[in-house]
């Protein structure tokens, strides 16, 4: 007898695409059959359904697998001509397919695994197939092995005594069954219940004792049950009697289906039986039942989609407001647009006070476009964080939100001076103040870093400009001081290391490795400041690799130097991407001759993924040029192409990517939206990289002609 276990959500996430594809192919074949009466298509439909069934079974979703299995059986019946109403069956299979896909999607989005939700379509399939006795028990899969109460501890019996006890229990049960059938249900139930309890204590195996305890609860609960059962009680009692007979003959193994059916009946029983209450709790049966007020799977999916959409909108809204408060006045228009989206889409949240709070934010913010007010700016930032908190817990609804929203609205209307006697918003307000401070300081840090990178770039291209490096002392001190004030002490090592390396550049000729290390440190600091501005709690992972390199044995990087690729830093890890060597003047046409063949295959695979990433975010920028997050991703993508290309030895490709990255850096510094010219540059570079990558895959080398890219990039940098 197998033990049911909880399904593996992680595995479901992995195989969901395979399941969706198999079901999609099954639908196509079924449609072909329906449109052309092509019976041969049903064989393909069956094959695809069987593939989906195997994947569902693999992750332990027994109830969903049972529906998929029934769909397959119905398709076979259609193919054999055994369905009276084939059109109705095709419709029913389509409905079952849709319901199954919704069920799986809802599971991934956090819904509980309650297969009984699938029963309406399952019942319809079996009815059309001609089945008369149909029960939701087919979809009921509780865990069968659970801790048992001490009162069910096995009795220390020898074989002879155990045999006598088995016989006595069977006789008692049959006597109780006879009384029950003669309408002496109360007395009969008690006799059968005591017989089942004795059976539980006779056995040593926990699984068998659990079964007989569940049987005792079933027998006792039937006496005063007021619930409707879709399994006939007499049928269950007869099956229990048959099981007793098998045990008396020496066959102690319990059928899994009988165990599940007994637990299903217990789950349905509306009884005051103490054993029923105990079994329901021990086997957690209520968690498998559909309860009044439960959201259906379609609503769960819609709610999760709404939450994801609103999280993206609120993040952009907060970012635009922070940057507006930091001095980027052009961001007010973007903020107004996003707060409008929040007002429109947020209505579906159904939160009391939400719409009024959004309206208060809009009314308060409008006059600040031309006349900033620090106190009101902080209040609006606080209100945005309050809304974010509500979105983060959705579809659950915070009981405190209506009162917090009312307090926030009063503060906004009073011009930021109203005292919060309830102290409801103290923590939210403190976080808002921190965020505004981070935004202002981060903008200054980014400006200083870009100044440092530009002077170093000039120096690496023309060492005669060494004297200009003296200008870097002030911005480095400012960076060190600002990060220290913000409590970002872990960056101190990086700033000090960059100061030492720049000092070496001023006093002598640094090695290539030292130049690479300096570039890597500054790049890591740049990505760290980006994460700081987003209030990314995982930002330390971005600088962890370079910190380890600096503080470990040997101050200089080895051949396989790495830097965190910030396009993946969002996924809470710092992947390996090489930093480039010192920049060289851009070539007009070249063919990289020294390529590390061992790393080329890795580079080609990574480059293809990066180009796909650029393409998807380029599409986003065409639709919404103000999408700063998309601009950041594009910049990081070209940074990755630059670093990994130089690591492999494709230095010319690295130079092209570096040219685009410099343009993107300027765009970010100037807080500009994507323009047609910028999008043209990105698309041009993406297309040419695609050609070069294709040539490298085919021939192991490529000619790089990028004069048009360098020309356009040069114009955009001016």
The predicted pLDDT at position 52 comes to 94
Lowest mean pLDDT among 224-238, 247-261, 317-331: 317-331
- 431 confidence band (pLDDT: 50, 70, 90): low
Q: Indicate whether 476 belongs to any domain.
A: yes
**Same structural domain, 212 and 310:** no
**Same structural domain, 686 and 668:** yes
Comparison of pLDDT for 509 and 365, the residue scoring more: 365
| 54-110 confidence digits (pLDDT tens) | 999 998 999 999 999 999 999 999 999 988 899 999 999 999 999 999 999 888 877
Secondary structure string (H, E, C) spanning 78-103: HHCCCCCCHHHHHHHHHHHHHHHHHH
Percent of the chain residues topping a pLDDT of 90: 38
**Same structural domain, 258 and 195:** yes
The predicted pLDDT at position 421 comes to 43
**Same structural domain, 245 and 210:** yes
265 Ramachandran zone, left/alpha/beta (phi>0; psi -120 to 50): alpha
What is the gyration radius of the CA atoms in the chain, in angstroms? 34
How many CB atoms within 10 Å of residue 302? 15
Q: Which of 133, 165, 198 is the last residue of a domain?
A: 133
The CATH number covering residue 96 comes to 1.20.120.160
| Calpha distance 483→474 (Å, rounded) | 14
Q: Indicate whether 173 belongs to any domain.
A: yes
The predicted pLDDT at position 292 comes to 64
Pinpoint the alpha helices (H) of 462-560. 473-485, 492-507, 512-533, 540-551
Return the half-sphere exposure (C-beta side, CA atoms, 13 A cut-off) of residue 141: 23
Tell me how far apart the 2 most distant CA atoms of the chain are, in Å. 109
Q: Indicate whether 569 belongs to any domain.
A: no
**Same structural domain, 77 and 206:** no
Q: Which of 251, 270, 288 is the last residue of a domain?
A: 288
Q: Indicate whether 556 belongs to any domain.
A: yes
Q: Indicate whether 163 belongs to any domain.
A: yes
CB 270 within 8 A of CB 176: no
- Structural domain including 63 reads 9-133
Q: Indicate whether 425 belongs to any domain.
A: no
431 Ramachandran zone, left/alpha/beta (phi>0; psi -120 to 50): alpha
**Same structural domain, 284 and 303:** no
- 462 confidence band (pLDDT: 50, 70, 90): confident
**Same structural domain, 488 and 531:** yes
Residue 485's Cβ-count burial label (10 Å; 0-12, 13-18, 19+) is: exposed
**Same structural domain, 278 and 303:** no
Q: Indicate whether 574 belongs to any domain.
A: no
Percent of the chain residues topping a pLDDT of 70: 86
Q: Indicate whether 595 belongs to any domain.
A: yes
The predicted pLDDT at position 494 comes to 87
The CATH number covering residue 323 comes to 1.20.120
| Residue 667 backbone phi and psi in degrees, to 5 | -60, -45
Instruction: Give the DSSP H/E element, type plus range, for residue 17.
Output: helix 9-36
Comparison of pLDDT for 256 and 482, the residue scoring more: 256
| Calpha distance 523→642 (Å, rounded) | 12
**Same structural domain, 96 and 23:** yes
Q: Which of 288, 314, 337 is the last residue of a domain?
A: 288
Reply yes or no on whether the pLDDT at 169 is more than 90: yes
| Calpha distance 64→50 (Å, rounded) | 13
The predicted pLDDT at position 171 comes to 94
Cα-Cα-Cα-Cα dihedral sign, residues 460, 464, 468, 473: positive
Looking at the whole model, is its pTM more than 0.85?
no
The predicted pLDDT at position 513 comes to 77
Average pLDDT over every residue of 204-222: 95
**Same structural domain, 276 and 306:** no
- How many domains in the chain? 5
Look over the chain and give the mean of its residue pLDDT values, rounded to a whole number. Answer: 82
Facing residues of 703 across strands? 591
- Mean pLDDT is highest, among 195-209, 572-586, 648-662, for 195-209
**Same structural domain, 21 and 120:** yes
**Same structural domain, 48 and 74:** yes
């Amino acid at each position: 007898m197998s033990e049911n276990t909880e399904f593996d959500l992680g595995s479901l996430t992995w195989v969901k695409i395979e399941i969706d594809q198999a079901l999609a192919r099954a639908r196509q074949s079924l449609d072909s059959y329906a449109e052309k009466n092509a019976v041969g298509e049903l064989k393909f439909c069956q094959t695809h359904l069987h593939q989906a069934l195997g994947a569902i079974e693999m992750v332990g979703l027994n109830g969903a697998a049972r529906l998929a299995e029934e769909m397959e059986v119905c398709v076979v019946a259609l193919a054999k001509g055994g369905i009276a109403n084939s059109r109705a069956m095709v419709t029913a299979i389509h409905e079952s397919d849709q319901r199954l896909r919704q069920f799986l999607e809802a599971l991934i989005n956090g819904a509980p695994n309650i297969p009984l939700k699938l029963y309406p379509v399952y019942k319809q399939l079996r009815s059309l197939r001609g089945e008369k006795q149909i029960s939701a028990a087919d979809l009921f899969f509780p865990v069968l092995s659970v801790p048992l109460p001490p009162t069910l501890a096995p009795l220390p019996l020898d074989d002879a005594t155990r045999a006598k006890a088995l016989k006595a229990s069977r006789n008692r049960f049959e006597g109780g069954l006879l009384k029950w059938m003669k309408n002496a249900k109360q007395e009969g139930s008690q006799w059968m219940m005591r017989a089942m309890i004795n059976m539980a204590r006779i056995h040593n195996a926990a699984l068998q004792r659990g079964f007989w305890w569940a049987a005792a609860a079933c027998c006792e609960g039937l006496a005063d049950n007021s619930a409707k059962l879709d399994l006939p009680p007499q049928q269950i009692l007869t099956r229990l009697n048959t099981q007793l007979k098998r045990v008396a003959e020496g066959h102690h193994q319990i059928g899994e289906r009988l165990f599940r059916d007994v637990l299903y009946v217990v789950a349905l029983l509306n009884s005051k039986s103490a054993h029923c209450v105990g079994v329901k709790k021990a086997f957690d049966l209520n968690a498998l039942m559909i309860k009044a007020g439960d959201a259906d799977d379609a609503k769960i999916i819609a709610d999760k989609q709404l939450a994801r959409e609103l999280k993206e909108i609120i993040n952009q809204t907060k970012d635009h407001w922070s940057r507006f408060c930091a001095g980027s006045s052009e961001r007010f228009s973007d903020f107004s647009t996003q707060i409008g989206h929040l007002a429109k889409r947020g209505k579906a949240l159904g939160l009391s006070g939400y719409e009024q709070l959004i309206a208060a934010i809009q009314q308060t913010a409008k006059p600040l476009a031309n006349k900033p007010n620090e106190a009101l700016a902080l209040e609006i930032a606080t209100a945005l964080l309050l809304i974010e908190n509500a979105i983060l817990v959705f579809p659950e609804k915070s009981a405190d939100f209506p009162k917090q929203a009312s307090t926030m609205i009063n503060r906004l209307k009073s011009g930021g001076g109203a005292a919060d006697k309830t102290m409801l918003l103290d923590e939210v307000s403190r976080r808002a103040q921190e965020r505004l401070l981070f935004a202002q300081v981060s903008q200054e840090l980014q400006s200083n870093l870009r100044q440092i990178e530009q002077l170093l770039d000039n120096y690496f291209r023309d060492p005669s400009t060494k004297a200009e490096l003296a200008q870097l002392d002030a911005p480095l001190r400012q960076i060190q001081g600002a990060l220290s004030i913000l409590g970002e002490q872990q960056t101190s090592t990086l700033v000090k290391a960059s100061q030492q390396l720049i000092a070496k550049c001023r006093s002598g000729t640094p090695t290539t490795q030292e130049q690479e290390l300096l570039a890597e440190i500054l790049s890591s600091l740049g990505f760290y400041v980006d994460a700081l501005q987003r209030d990314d709690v995982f930002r330390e992972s971005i600088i962890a690799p370079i910190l380890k390199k600096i503080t470990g044995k040997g101050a200089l990087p080895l051949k396989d130097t790495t830097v965190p690729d910030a396009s993946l830093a969002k996924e809470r890890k710092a992947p390996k991407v090489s930093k480039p060597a010192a920049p060289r003047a851009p070539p007009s046409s070249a063919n990289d001759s020294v390529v590390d063949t061992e790393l080329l295959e890795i580079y080609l695979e990574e480059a293809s993924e990066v180009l796909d990433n650029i393409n998807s975010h380029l599409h986003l920028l065409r639709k919404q040029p103000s999408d700063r997050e998309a601009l950041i991703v594009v910049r990081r993508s070209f940074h990755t192409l630059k670093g990994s290309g130089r690591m492999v030895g494709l230095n010319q490709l690295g130079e092209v990517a570096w040219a685009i990255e410099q343009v993107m850096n300027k765009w970010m510094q100037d807080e500009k939206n994507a323009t047609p010219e910028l999008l043209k540059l990105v698309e041009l570079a993406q297309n040419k990289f695609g050609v070069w990558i294709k040539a490298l895959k085919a021939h192991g080398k490529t000619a790089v002609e990028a004069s048009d890219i360098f020309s356009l990039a040069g114009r955009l940098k001016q």
